[in-house]
Amino acid sequence: MSPSWNNVRADFPILHQQVNGHPLVYLDNGATSQKPRSVIDALVRYYERDNSNVHRGLHALSTRATDAYEGARARIAKFINAADPAEVLFTRGTTESINIVARSWGHAHLKPGDVVLTTEFEHHSNLVPWQQAAKAAGATLKYVPLLGADGEGGPDLAALDQLLTPQVKLFAFTHISNTLGTINPVAEFCRRARAVGAVTVIDAAQSVGHRPLDVQQIGCDFLAFSGHKMCGPTGIGVLYGRRALLDQLAPDETGGGMVVQVTYEGATWKPAPERFEAGTPNVAGAIALGTACDYLDNLGRDKIAAHDTALVTIAMEKLSALPGIRIIGPKKGAERSGMVSFAFEGVHAHDVVTFADEDGIALRGGHHCNQPLMRKLGLTSTTRASFYLYNTPEEIDRLVKSLQRIQKFFAG
């Protein structure tokens, strides 16, 4: 049975407020999601009861904090079906996770003549680190083209086959585009990459909190995500890495907590995950991220995905009926994630967002950290409405009404 989505709203205290005299409609979930009471309570409970450093103390609070921190790691491993909790590294978020692979793996494995492959529709966080890594190694960065004038055709799979030569050492791609809503066939990408011996890195920032995700079934080597986009706190994220690869990898950051022995001459490293978690970690964030996993799985990520699809299908239908709107990304709601980006003829995205805010609606306008993609589509910016489990069809009606008001204003 599907959860009662209106009851779900009661779990999110922040939603029950007025903005500019209107009940808040929060449609900026691609940027960050709101937090349920259980996640907020987990943070408060930790600081009120258990706060201590982990892996260092022998007293009761430190033991409790360590158990909860490692418990969260095991919970998150289960959330993505990692074979071993040691494959789950805590980071600050997707950006840091990808940078760790680009620096550690890139430094150890890339050499002149190698190719790093990515796509034309990556977030800057899954693009700039690879530009840097390729540059440092004298390797080349290549892109799988995006098809369609509005990017509606998704990745060019025929071109992918041609690009995937034995020179490709690593293929990094997003699971879900944060601008187009495109859902990439990630298991298929991994299968094809594996056939030429390339390591795979998946940016799961927009997917892991919205649909079931199984790293073993996908067959990826690395996968990165952020807690704050999946009902968890900011400042905590995950890098999943296959154990065999992590064991061969040197740490990117060094310091306390990740060493076995230190002399004046040098140091030796602990195995993963500690090897990659130098210094005091975000203990409260990790624990509350575990609580966010519980919250999402209690609702069912398959049901959340269906709810996203239902909302985006309604939104696509209603927005398409408005004059002067150019929707980018897949044409059908069923083929995209729960977000819709559009350009409004004659109105800058920042004006759309400002006007919508007057109506109590939170949207995002800009290049969405996808500058090369915007340029490819002949745009400088779009407006994006991104949905999550607490959004309703009535909120889409509020959005449409607001867009009609904006259109009327700018038509003069």
Closer residue to ligand C6P in complex, CB, 65/389? 389
Q: Which residues contact 359 (CB under 8 A, 6 or more apart)?
A: 20, 22, 25, 398, 401, 402, 405
In the complex with ligand C6P, which residue's Cβ is closer, 137 or 223?
223
Question: Smallest distance, Å, CB 63 to ligand C6P?
Answer: 31
Minimum Å gap between C-beta 99 and ligand C6P is 9
When the beta carbons of 124 and 270 are compared against ligand C6P, the nearer one is 124
Q: CA separation (Å) from 77 to 74, 130, 210, 244?
A: 5, 26, 17, 16
Cβ-closest position to ligand C6P:
178
According to DSSP, residue 251 is labeled P
CA distance 179 to 173: 14
Answer for the pair 339, 363: CB distance below 8 angstroms, yes or no: no
Backbone angles phi, psi at 287, to 5 degrees: -65, -45
- Pair of tokens at residue 208: 């892991």
Nearest residue (CB) to ligand C6P, 29 versus 66: 29
> In one letter, which amino acid is 92?
R
User: CA 349, CA 338: separation in Å to the nearest integer?
Assistant: 19
CA 159/CA 171 separation, integer angstroms? 14
Shortest separation between residue 146's beta carbon and ligand C6P, angstroms: 14
For the bound state, the minimum distance from the C-beta of residue 208 to ligand C6P, rounded and expressed in Å, comes to: 11
Q: What residues make contact with ligand C6P under the rule CB under 6 A?
A: 30-31, 93-95, 123, 125-126, 174, 178, 203, 205-206, 226, 364, 368-369
**Least distance in Å: CB of 276 to ligand C6P?**
16
Beta bridge partners of 223: 202, 240
Active site residue 231: no
Helix (H) or strand (E) holding 75: helix 60-79
| 3-state DSSP assignment of residue 253 | coil
User: Helix 301-320 vs helix 393-411: angle between axes, to the nearest 10 degrees?
Assistant: 30
Give the residue with the Cβ less far from ligand C6P, 94 or 291.
Answer: 94
Report the chain's terminal Cα–Cα distance, integer Å. Answer: 48
Pairing of strands 154-155, 146-147: antiparallel
Q: Which is nearer to ligand C6P, 196 or 369 (CB)?
A: 369
Active centre residues (catalytic) = 369
